[in-house]
Amino acid sequence: MKLTKKSHACVRLEKDGRTLVIDPGAFSEEDAAAAAEVILVTHEHADHFSEDRLRVGMEANPGAEIWTLASVAEQISAAFPGRVHTVGHGDTFTAAGFEVQVHGELHAVIHPDIPRITNVGFLVDGGKVFHPGDALTLPDHPVQTLMLPVMAPWNKISEVIDYVREVKPLRAYDIHDALLTDLARPIYDHQIAALGGAEHLRLTPGTSAQL
Angle CA 67–69–72, to nearest 5: 90
Check residue 91 and give its pLDDT. Answer: 98
Q: How far is CA 31 from CA 80, 181, 211, in A?
A: 18, 24, 23
- What is the residue extent of each domain of the chain? 2-204
- Of 113, 188, 181, whose CA–CA distance to 148 is shortest? 188
What is the chain's pLDDT, residue by residue, as a tens digit (211 residues)?
Answer: 999 999 999 999 999 999 999 999 999 999 999 999 999 999 999 999 999 999 999 999 999 999 999 999 999 999 999 999 999 999 999 999 999 999 999 999 999 999 999 999 999 999 999 999 999 999 999 999 999 999 999 999 999 999 999 999 999 999 999 999 999 999 999 999 999 999 999 999 999 999 9
Q: Is 141 exposed, middle or buried (0-12, 13-18, 19+ CB in 10 A)?
A: exposed
Check residue 173 and give its pLDDT. Answer: 98
Check residue 192 and give its pLDDT. Answer: 98
DSSP 8-state symbol, 123: E
CA distance 31 to 38: 14
CA distance 169 to 143: 5
Check residue 85 and give its pLDDT. Answer: 98
CA distance 80 to 64: 10
In the CATH hierarchy, which top-level class contains the domain 2-204? alpha beta
Write the secondary structure of 60-113 as one string of H (helix), E (strand) and C (coil): HCCCCEEEECHHHHHHHCCCCCCCEEECCCCCEEEECCEEEEEECCECCCCCCC
Check residue 207 and give its pLDDT. Answer: 98
Q: Is 204 exposed, middle or buried (0-12, 13-18, 19+ CB in 10 A)?
A: exposed
The amino acid sitting at 18 is R
Check residue 103 and give its pLDDT. Answer: 98
